């Protein structure tokens, strides 16, 4: 099977398993796991921030960050298609009592002017806006990369209004590789970031919250409260360190493979947008097949894809799909999608 549903389906490589087996460990709730401490220091330095905290999932990392920057009852602004309000099962409301208000789904076409117009001032009669969240790359936005100039303008908007800026950087690695923007340059633009090791980088588990030392100290407390205080978790941090050392630069291969798939599918008229990174978004509006029918037909031919909506689907390239798998998908999908 060519499993193109998600970049989360990867399995640890032999080298990664060796690194995990050899990891020095300690009790991370006491901050005594040397491998976790090394990973946190490494990731903080990559983004030019003071500190980072290991979390079991991207969802927890995002939610910890949001609780750091938005007090209960106050408001977060984000894209209507953002992961934090689409796929985190109401966590911002359930755990942080955070109000969320969304701008229409713009994906990587984020417009700082639209965001600025939504900001509410402090006052006893309205919900005070406290933070803005963006997603880099944008998952439901087809893996799009928000341009650096847009993020800089958004930073100006946030500073003018005294707001915090959070980045859901589950796939910020892909943006870094696609646009050549140094990670520390992204880091400088945000008050908090969450980054995932378990997506394109291929680790089995693990995300980090990145920010100031003071914020990350608070995040450590909130992580324990949410049940995310882990013990000898250096075995997982070792997978993350291995992933950073060995799987970051190779994301160009995933991008090239996604571009090849896009090229093969272009004549079918089903691409939902340009393909910049490792996600190929499909829009089957008006097509003879809906998303479910396409997924069923593709599965029968040995290709798995994700259904996102009745007429939307996606293909995602990653560490566990090679050129042969892409060749196969690039052959059978255009046949299935022929009018």
Ligand X SMILES: Cc1ncc(COP(=O)(O)O)c(C=O)c1O
Q: How far is the CB of 148 from ligand X (least distance, A)?
A: 19
Of 35 and 277, which CB lies nearer to ligand X in the complex structure? 277
Between CA 103 and CA 105 the distance in angstroms is 6
Between CA 127 and CA 123 the distance in angstroms is 8
Of 27 and 306, which CB lies nearer to ligand X in the complex structure? 306
Which of 5, 49, 83, 314 binds ligand X (CB under 6 A)? It is 83
Q: How far is the CB of 138 from ligand X (least distance, A)?
A: 8
Between CA 306 and CA 279 the distance in angstroms is 11
Q: How far is the CB of 235 from ligand X (least distance, A)?
A: 17
Between CA 49 and CA 53 the distance in angstroms is 12
Binding to ligand X by CB under 6 A, coded x per residue (else -) over 156-185, reads ------------x-x---------------
Which residues in the 59-78 window bind ligand X by CB under 6 A? 59, 62
Q: Single out the segment in contact with ligand X by CB under 6 A; choices: 58-66, 181-189, 283-291, 319-327.
A: 58-66
Of 107 and 332, which CB lies nearer to ligand X in the complex structure? 107
**Contact indicator for 332, 304 with CB cutoff of 8 Å:** no
Nearest to 228, CA basis, from 89, 94, 64: 64
Strands (E), 182-293: 192-196, 207-211, 279-283
**Contact indicator for 65, 212 with CB cutoff of 8 Å:** no
Nearest to 79, CA basis, from 157, 139, 5: 139
Q: How far is the CB of 139 from ligand X (least distance, A)?
A: 4
Between CA 17 and CA 187 the distance in angstroms is 30
Q: Which helix (H) or strand (E) holds 105?
A: none
Q: How far is the CB of 57 from ligand X (least distance, A)?
A: 3
**Contact indicator for 52, 208 with CB cutoff of 8 Å:** yes
Query: What angle (nearest 5°) sits at the alpha carbon of residue 292, between those of residues 288 and 293?
Result: 45
- Three-class SS state of 124: coil
Residues touching ligand X: how many (CB under 6 A)?
A: 13
Which of 63, 67, 139, 317 binds ligand X (CB under 6 A)? It is 139
Which of 5, 40, 58, 131 binds ligand X (CB under 6 A)? It is 58
135 binds ligand X (CB under 6 A): yes
Binding to ligand X by CB under 6 A, coded x per residue (else -) over 89-108, reads --------------------
141 binds ligand X (CB under 6 A): no
* Interface residues toward ligand X, by CB under 6 A: 8, 57-59, 62, 83, 135, 139, 168, 170, 196, 198, 207
């Amino acid at each position: 099977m060519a499993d193109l549903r998600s970049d989360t389906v990867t399995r640890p490589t032999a080298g990664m398993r060796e690194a995990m087996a050899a990891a020095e460990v300690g009790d991370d709730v006491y901050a005594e796991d040397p491998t976790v401490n090394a990973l946190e220091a490494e990731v903080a330095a990559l983004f030019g921030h003071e500190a980072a905290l290991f979390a079991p999932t991207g969802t927890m990392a995002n939610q910890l960050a949001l609780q750091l920057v938005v007090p209960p009852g106050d408001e977060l602004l984000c894209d209507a298609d953002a992961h934090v309000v689409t796929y985190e099962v109401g966590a911002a409301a359930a755990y942080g009592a955070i109000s969320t208000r969304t701008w229409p789904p713009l994906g990587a076409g984020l417009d700082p002017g639209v965001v600025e117009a939504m900001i509410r001032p402090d006052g006893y009669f309205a919900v005070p806006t406290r933070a803005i969240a963006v997603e880099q790359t944008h998952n439901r936005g087809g893996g799009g990369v928000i341009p650096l100039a847009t993020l800089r303008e958004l930073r100006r908007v946030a500073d003018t209004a005294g707001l915090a800026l959070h980045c859901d950087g589950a796939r910020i690695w892909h943006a870094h590789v696609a646009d050549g923007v140094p990670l520390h340059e992204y880091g400088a633009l945000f008050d908090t970031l969450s980054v995932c090791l378990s997506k394109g980088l291929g680790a089995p588990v693990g995300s980090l919250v990145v920010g100031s030392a003071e914020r990350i100290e608070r995040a450590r407390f909130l992580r324990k409260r949410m049940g995310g205080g882990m013990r000898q978790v250096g075995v997982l941090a070792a997978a993350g360190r291995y992933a950073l050392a060995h799987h970051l630069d190779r994301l160009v291969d995933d991008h090239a493979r996604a571009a090849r798939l896009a090229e093969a599918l272009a004549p079918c008229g089903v691409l939902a947008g340009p393909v910049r990174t490792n996600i190929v978004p499909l829009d089957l509006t008006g097509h003879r097949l809906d998303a479910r029918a396409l997924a069923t037909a593709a599965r029968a031919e040995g290709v798995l894809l994700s259904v996102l909506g009745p007429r939307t689907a996606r293909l995602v390239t990653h560490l566990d799909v090679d050129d042969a798998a892409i060749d196969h998908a690039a052959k059978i999908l255009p046949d299935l999608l022929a009018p």
